[in-house]
Structure 1
Amino acid sequence: MGFLTRLRTGWALTKDSLRVLRGDPELAVFPLVGGVAGLCYVALLFGGATLVGGLDSQALQIALLFLLYLGTTFVASFATAALMHETRTAFEGGEPSFRSGMAAAWRNKGTLLVWSVVSATVGVVIQLIDSQDNLLAEILAGIVSVAWSILTYFVVPVITFEDVSVREAIHRSGETFKGTWGETAGAHFGVGIVTFLFMLPVVLVAGAVLFLGVGSGSGFGFGASVAVAAVLLVGAYLFSTTLSSIAKTGLYVYATEGRRPGAFEDVDLGHVPD
């Protein structure tokens, strides 16, 4: 199957993912909870670091960076696992529920934690390489970062739906990406376009609201405009994150099981490689 055909498949996958989101908008609750939990974790981490002080040494800075990557990766992976589990429920005609999704993620908490440790370690190593005042080091960091992102693209759904170790999850993720690289690229492109089209008016409206708030000369007006703009931008974030996870779940299902999820009626999966 040619690359352009794969891109068309990815675009169709994106459109059907949007249909799933319209049918079950409650799926966006998972990234909302994950985002709030992540912000709380970051606030507590840096708040504690500020109170403790003494973060001038490189070792402590690295430790803080590792804890930042570890916590945010775990929270994001946990929320994504819950979302993907309920997305699959929606694929099969069931009714997604917040409780069921969180319970499914909780069952895999140990593996998700180990994955977060591995991901945080790699993230810190990449950051240390990139921090060198050397063009070659920056290029190397970029290559490693892209390679790692590709290799681990399907790690969370593998952990969510398969009883495997983190090492096996990474291997399975790489194999799955290899079999669907065109569709994955197409889905990313499709989600990116849809998100851009959605974000553009949101950003324009948010900017206009902020402009009006500043021009009002009122503290209340400015505060209200900031709040409205924040709500609009958070809504756009939830939309893009949820849409991407739905598309990734659909890719995972047909790549690993050789069947088309019922929700993806516009996607021609007859030529998807194993």
Structure 2
Amino acid sequence: MGKIRTSWQIAKQCWRVLMLDKELLIFPIMSGIAMLLVIASFVLPLWGTGLFEHVRHHPDADRPILFAISFAFYLVSYFVIIFFNSALVSCALIRLRGGNPTVGDGISAAMKCLPAIFGWALLSAVIGMILQSLEQRVGFIGRLVIGLIGVAWSIASFFAIPVIVTENVGPIEALKRSSSIIRKTWGETLTVQVGLSLIAVAAGFLTMLVIVGGGALMPMSPILGGSIMALGIIAFFCGIVVTAALHAILTAALYLYASDGKVPQNFDGELLKSAFAPK
């Protein structure tokens, strides 16, 4: 219960920071819109040229082409997500250091790190493709092992984006710095990160119940059921946007505290200290 209480208290502090800079919510929205455009830019040409249908009938003949397209999609998707996340983390860092960031500040900070962001997107795409390819070729035990490797990668790269936007280093150095910070300050798990994720999952589950409830009412009252479903869907996507912003604020706060021991503004130092599980 103590860990859950700590996670909840830190989540409230992240929320307080978000309320000071509500424009941080713009970055997940822009990221989502950009991802829809990326998906459309890949799907529509492939559909229009008939390549989807051709690959369905000749899966082996066009495997190299399919692999190249898949990798390009991975790379562009990672770049878009990392770019806007970098902008979001940059603004969070400005606020946590006592500044008053704007959306332009975040975009400007991300633009200054474009080569590093592209390098990190490239490395992430390569790792993602390798893990996905291996997962498709192994059995149940192998998939468990690959899942653990994926978790290890997520842990090692936890602070990579704050490192990139703060130090503007390449992907390998960012991974080394991120791993170094974790080794110095982290035990087996970061309880507050898990706690915040559980809070987000619980909120998402509740909104899904609202959506399902609205769907169940549709036969009896289409207007009422449709309205409830619409509200549930809106709440679900709002939850995704808010969760993305809160995670970025949390990552930025933990990075500042873990890298130089300074307590970010609007955060409790004792709570941050308890966020790191002992080794």
**CA distance in structure 1 between the aligned counterparts of 2:185 and 2:9, rounded to whole angstroms:** 14
Q: Report deviation, 1:92.
A: 2.7
RMSD: 2.9
2:241 aligned partner: 238
1:173 aligned partner: 178
Residue among 19, 23, 27 paired with 2:16:
19
1:82 aligned partner: 87
Residue among 207, 215, 224 paired with 1:202:
207
Q: Report deviation, 1:225.
A: 6.1
**CA distance in structure 2 between the aligned counterparts of 1:98 and 1:262, rounded to whole angstroms:** 20
* Residues 228 and 134 (structure 1), Cα distance of their counterparts in 2 relative to 1, 3 Å cut: same
CA contact (8 A) 2:210 2:228 kept: no
Residues paired across the two proteins, number: 268
Task: State which drifts further: 92-101 or 160-169.
Answer: 92-101
Q: Does 1:68 pair with 2:73?
A: yes
Q: Counterparts of 1:202-221 in structure 2 under 5 Å?
A: 202-213=207-218, 215-216=220-221
Task: State which drifts further: 8-17 or 114-123.
Answer: 8-17
Q: Report deviation, 1:5.
A: 8.4
**CA distance in structure 1 between the aligned counterparts of 2:16 and 2:181, rounded to whole angstroms:** 24
Q: Report deviation, 1:227.
A: 4.6
Q: Report deviation, 1:139.
A: 2.9
Q: Report deviation, 1:112.
A: 0.5
Q: Does 1:262 pair with 2:262?
A: no
Q: Does 1:36 pair with 2:36?
A: no
**CA distance in structure 2 between the aligned counterparts of 1:174 and 1:6, rounded to whole angstroms:** 24
* Residues 215 and 59 (structure 1), Cα distance of their counterparts in 2 relative to 1, 3 Å cut: farther
**CA distance in structure 2 between the aligned counterparts of 1:265 and 1:51, rounded to whole angstroms:** 55
Q: Report deviation, 1:22.
A: 2.5
Q: Does 1:50 pair with 2:47?
A: yes
1:189-247, Cα deviation, whole Å (9 max, x unpaired) = 221233244334433333333444465458xx85x666544322110101111111110
Q: Does 1:119 pair with 2:141?
A: no
**CA distance in structure 2 between the aligned counterparts of 1:171 and 1:7, rounded to whole angstroms:** 30
Q: Report deviation, 1:160.
A: 0.6
* Residues 143 and 183 (structure 1), Cα distance of their counterparts in 2 relative to 1, 3 Å cut: closer
Q: Report deviation, 1:40.
A: 1.4
Q: Report deviation, 1:105.
A: 0.6
Task: State which drifts further: 22-31 or 56-65.
Answer: 56-65
SS at match of 1:127: helix
Give the aligned residue type for 1:242: A
* Residues 197 and 18 (structure 1), Cα distance of their counterparts in 2 relative to 1, 3 Å cut: farther
* Residues 41 and 214 (structure 1), Cα distance of their counterparts in 2 relative to 1, 3 Å cut: farther
CA contact (8 A) 2:116 2:170 kept: yes
CA contact (8 A) 2:254 2:272 kept: no
Give the aligned residue type for 1:19: R
1:127-148, Cα deviation, whole Å (9 max, x unpaired) = 1100014334323322321221
- Structure 1 residue ranges without an equivalent (≥5): none
Q: Report deviation, 1:79.
A: 0.8
Q: Report deviation, 1:71.
A: 1.4
**CA distance in structure 1 between the aligned counterparts of 2:272 and 2:214, rounded to whole angstroms:** 44
* Residues 209 and 161 (structure 1), Cα distance of their counterparts in 2 relative to 1, 3 Å cut: same
Q: Report deviation, 1:183.
A: 9.4
Residue among 150, 153, 158 paired with 1:148:
153
Q: Percent identity?
A: 28
- Structure 2 residue ranges without an equivalent (≥5): none
TM-score, length-scaled by structure 1: 0.85
1:47-91, Cα deviation, whole Å (9 max, x unpaired) = 222223144332223222212221111111111111111111211
SS at match of 1:164: coil
**CA distance in structure 1 between the aligned counterparts of 2:84 and 2:188, rounded to whole angstroms:** 24
* Residues 136 and 192 (structure 1), Cα distance of their counterparts in 2 relative to 1, 3 Å cut: closer
Residue among 245, 251, 254 paired with 1:251:
254
